[in-house]
Amino acid sequence: MRPCRLCLALVILLLLSLSGAGLARAQDPVSPAREDPTGMSFISSLRARGYGGGEIERVRVLAETPDFTRYLIRYPSDDLTIQGFMNVPKGVEPPYRVVVVAHGYVNPDAYPLLPYTTPYADALARAGFLVVHPGYRNHSGSDDGPNPFRSGYTIDVLNLIAILKQQPDVRPDAIGLFGHSMGGEVTIKALVTRPEDIRAAVLYGAMGADAWENWNLINWKWAGGWFLFDGPFSPWRDRDAFALASPSNYLDLVQTPVQIHHGRWDDTVPFAWSTDLADALREHGKEVEFYAYNASHSFGVGGVAYNMLMQRSIAFFDTHLGQ
């Protein structure tokens, strides 16, 4: 009888979690007076802290092309060192317009710095943008650090942006974000944390703005019911913490024009999450463009959907970051 009881218990937990996802969206977040023992989990905690400090180190040249030079870089994020790469365009006079490219999920222990992001970064660099790709904490080549609700990744991106704003060869008023999948989640969180620092944002197959929905998807689709965010909060006991960590409850803070791209055939991240986000941003009076494609989660470099994605993204950044 024990196996049957175990199965019944798992089914009950699944039903409770799935039904709870809708409730979490309907409720307002509880008072931000709740203690955040991590100091970095809640949106209010991220908004209250400072960013920046230090310099970007160009470690060595990774590639020379007719259009740009790619460097391996390191930079400080709090007390951690984060590895990444930077594409510096040729034939463009500084100060540069900048796009920070935030990558999606790959096993952090085996994350290869270049293959995932270079198609997007290279296309943007050929269009004249200085492009910087942070590898995030806990990924190969970077130091390990706390990451509750993936807030550590957001901190790494915002520290990078703050450092870039101090560089003499960068236009501080012309920094954009491009985020795919999990990188889209990181981007949305950045938009409600430091909206004044980001002039344009592109979301591509982005994870959701609701921390509870993200947990449910990861937990039941990929982790077999055993996924817990890095941090002290339990998805069973601390639903208010998930609300306080969700950008969906803070979209009124967005100041940045947003362009959203999603494939109708995406079987990794629900297509409806992007349509819901676009609708919610419009309800808050925010500037948003939404494009749907007959494509899956990643559009395939060189294909029709990919080419349209990059053309629209470059035009969007040109509009909002200047020529």
When pLDDT is averaged across residues 72-90 and rounded to a whole number, the result is 98
How does residue 221 score in pLDDT terms, banded at 50, 70 and 90?
A: confident
How does residue 166 score in pLDDT terms, banded at 50, 70 and 90?
A: very high
Report pTM.
0.89
pLDDT at 154 over 80: yes
Handedness of CA 311, 317, 318, 319 (dihedral sign): positive
Q: Which residues contact 273 (CB under 8 A, 6 or more apart)?
A: 206, 207, 208, 209, 213, 262
How does residue 226 score in pLDDT terms, banded at 50, 70 and 90?
A: low
pLDDT of the residue at 28: 43
pLDDT of the residue at 27: 41
**In the chain, what are the domain boundaries?**
2-321
When pLDDT is averaged across residues 34-40 and rounded to a whole number, the result is 92
40: Cα within 13 Å, side-chain hemisphere: 20
Is the omega angle on the peptide bond into residue 95 within 30 degrees of 0, that is, cis? yes
Among 14-18, 85-89, 212-216, the minimum mean pLDDT is found in 14-18
pLDDT of the residue at 136: 97
pLDDT of the residue at 54: 96
Domain at 2-321, CATH from 3.40.50.1820, 3.50.50.60, 3.40.50.1010, 3.30.70.1890:
3.40.50.1820
Task: For 304-318, write each residue's pLDDT tens digit.
Answer: 999 999 999 999 999
On whether the CB atoms of residues 92 and 169 are closer than 8 A, the answer is: no
pLDDT of the residue at 13: 46
Give the residue, 2 or 115, on which the prediction is more confident: 115
CA distances from 145 to 81, 106, 249 (A): 10, 17, 26
pLDDT of the residue at 234: 86
